[in-house]
Structure 1
Amino acid sequence: MGSRTLSYREALREGLEEALSQDPRVFLMGEDVGHYGGCYAVSKGLLDQFGPERIIDTPLCESGFVGVGIGAALGGMRPVVEVMTVNFSLLAMDQIVNTAATLRHMSGGQFHVPLVIRMACGAGKQLAAQHSHSWENFYAHIPGLKVLSPATHCDARYMLGQALADPDPVLIFEHVMLLNESGDVPDIPEASMEQAIVRKEGTDISLISYGGNLKKALTAAGQLQEFGISAEVIDLRCLRPLDKPTLLTSVAKTHRAIIIDEGWCTGSLAGEISAIIMEEGFWHLDAPVKRICTAEVPIPYPSHLEQATLPQIPQIVATAKALMEGR
């Protein structure tokens, strides 16, 4: 199997280009996706290639254009709706939660909403409190939605196509700190979009993460080797539905777990994963499950404060060493 080196941004664009080329029902709509080329330049050049009927610049009205996307999906199209940043998705939450997520159930399976919504998420670019949060757990709470978090260039390239093949709404969260990074993209996807992947095998402790924190978990695992600690790293990839068997198999092997989540600790996805491990894997544990989350404040603007709020590699290493002290 061959591979190529692409930036995360280029991998996202290639996935969009393939979807638009292969299926005439697919179109992209959102704020600045056309003439400007996307707020993060992911859709740059697609307007010239596919025209204004398929690359559609919208007004600054998330509830409006997400609603249009839902209607188009009900009408047989395959819309890809870009919400510029996850914070702005609150303006469309009624459409996403009360309409897109409910129609299949409320219609007894007669209607499906094959809609994909892409959102930029995460902190690290000094965009302050209204553009920087990680609210994947908000949507992972909602039945009727699937929630994806591509952490690798391979997933950035292929998850969109997998999401478009799903008959129900899928949300994809693209971490802004990954956009400029380069990585290998194989010729085929690694796994189905709902499957978690063990990115590094280990025997002593499970580091469970997703999205922008996966690289931190892998780096921490490398540093822990210097202390004789073998860390296993799990990339969740899909946050709803969670791949419970992969999580529980890992914990059964390592007997310890740390969850790294850029959401706030209170009401976090990390809390849900911790509960799953407690309910279904308790007797495998040799130590309490630990969570490393963002500090409970709105994301600050100054770089040093922003970094201080986020999960960092030294925290992961220190927490893992503390968990291993009693072995």
Structure 2
Amino acid sequence: MSETIQLESIVPEELAGKRLDQALAEMFPDYSRSRMKTWITAGNVSIDAEIVTKPREKLELGALVAIDAELESEERHQAQPIKLDIVYEDDDILVINKPAGLVVHPGAGAPDGTLLNGLLHHYPKIDQVPRAGIIHRLDKDTTGLMVVAKTVPAQTQLVDMMQKREIRREYEAICNGVMTAGGMVEEPIGRHPTKRTHMAVVASGKPAVTHYRVMERLRAHTLLRLRLETGRTHQIRVHMAHIRHPLVGDLTYGGRPRPPKQASDTFLATLRGFSRQALHAAQLSLHHPVEGEWMTFEAPRPADFEQLLDAMRDDLQEHSSS
């Protein structure tokens, strides 16, 4: 499945003398500069009816630039009828409430059965969009909201908004230990020096900023509201572990069960039975990539998260009254 793209424009004064790929990205902002480079080198771009294949080609004032290309299907994955919890959908975007256990993108450990496979089944034309419109991920066992682009123009805008930190993402998490106050973690995150599948706070990592505030204090745990400025892999999990408050259930980063003293057998069973990190993407806010209006979406805590919280509250009440 593919779609033919035909565009043309006269080079304006402010773009005269600029590189072809740079100028095209400004003239046709629905498409990224990297995509423009691909089209140029593939022979899909002409200047005054002459095919040009060098992205560095300089443009002259008044030249006619034309693009005749196809948006090829970028994903060769199988469409699968996977149930999606769609919070919102229009012609340009989808907002999904992802359940625990659903992998976002196929990989070595999950070749299919992913959110991407479900998106291809729900909206087949999304195979024309890079990564089937997925612009950010949630870990397999993290729940909550994700925005997905249904068109290339929407995807281009959403990626730009994400890079400019214009998409607001807020999470809820239960961490080990009782925190006295909120704060901010500003520590670079990169690949762990010895554990290939882990991330860590490392001096050579990329900048990462996480804001957090206390929502509720339990006997040995804290319910937090967190806001991401950046979107590094495992960012919240790594940052919370770094300040010695790893997320409950996050065995990768040290969140093994830490029950309070004299906890009931029922509470111990609930805590030990929570087999994933207690992290939920609760709120997502952004400007619509095409219409421009500010939109906010919210997803309620999943049942297992709420049950864990209830057990912690019962434990607190039981021991505060004794």
In the superposition, the TM-score normalised over structure 2's length comes to: 0.27
Larger helix percent: 1
Max Rg structure: 2
* TM-score, normalised by the number of residues in structure 1: 0.27
